[in-house]
Structure 1
Amino acid sequence: MKSFVVLALIAAACAAPQQNPQDVQIVRYDVNNGGIDSYNFAWELSDGTKHEEQGQLKNQGTENEAIAVQGQYAWVGPDGVLYTVTYVADENGFQPQIQQGPGGAVPSAVVASLLG
């Protein structure tokens, strides 16, 4: 009897409506390669996922030459909340700032994967 209940729960979970990844469309895609010293890109999908980033070479030709990047990415979680990570990546490392839309907390696994 227990195995029947477990199988029934698995069947119900599989029958729940899910968005097919094949149904997601690219709604925006911009790339600008500014040559050797800068770039930027932005893309957005029909499911609300998006990513924007700009990078610029700092201290070109010196011993301290490095690329400084800033950007953000966002997605709609299974709870319907828009989550956004804004970041800077430079000589001080990757520095994310996690934001969320109203009504939800950022899942702890997301926080751990960004800061860990």
Structure 2
Amino acid sequence: MKFVIVLAALVAVCSGAAIPSGDLEATVLRDNRHNDGINGYEFGYETSNGITRQENGVLKPVGETAVIIVSGDASWVAPDGTPVSLKFTADENGYHPVV
């Protein structure tokens, strides 16, 4: 019974979420991708409603293993019109966001 109540509440919350009308008609303006499978990868995109995203990753030897060192950024406009920007790195020590 608890599951049904939680599920009903979740559906109610999700169905009430408003999507800004500009997001429904957004188009992709730029979409770049590269992954050679050895030296790393990179990608980036931009949409007509102001969303941008870029990321790159390289393989780094750490002791007897290797980790992927990732860096990137994203930006968008919040529903209230506030510009939002996020930069981040991720490495053998974890995820490091900067807002």
TM-score bracket, shorter-length normalisation:
0.7 to 0.9
- 1:36 maps to amino acid: I
**Pair member with larger Rg:** 1
Structure 1 residue matching 2:24: 3-state secondary structure: helix
Query: TM-score, structure 1 length as denominator?
Result: 0.63
Query: TM-score, structure 2 length as denominator?
Result: 0.73
Within 5 Å, give how 1:39-54 maps onto structure 2: 39-54=41-56
Higher relative contact order (CA 8 A, sep 6+): 2
Ranges of 4+ aligned residues in structure 1 off by more than 2 Å: none
More strand by share: 2
* Shift of residue 20, structure 1, vs aligned partner: 4.9
* Shift of residue 43, structure 1, vs aligned partner: 0.5
Q: Which runs of 5+ in 2 are unaligned?
A: 1-19
Q: How many residues align?
A: 80
Pairwise CA RMSD of aligned residues?
A: 1.6
> What is the identity percentage for the equivalent residue pairs of Structure 1 and Structure 2?
35
Partner of 2:85: 84
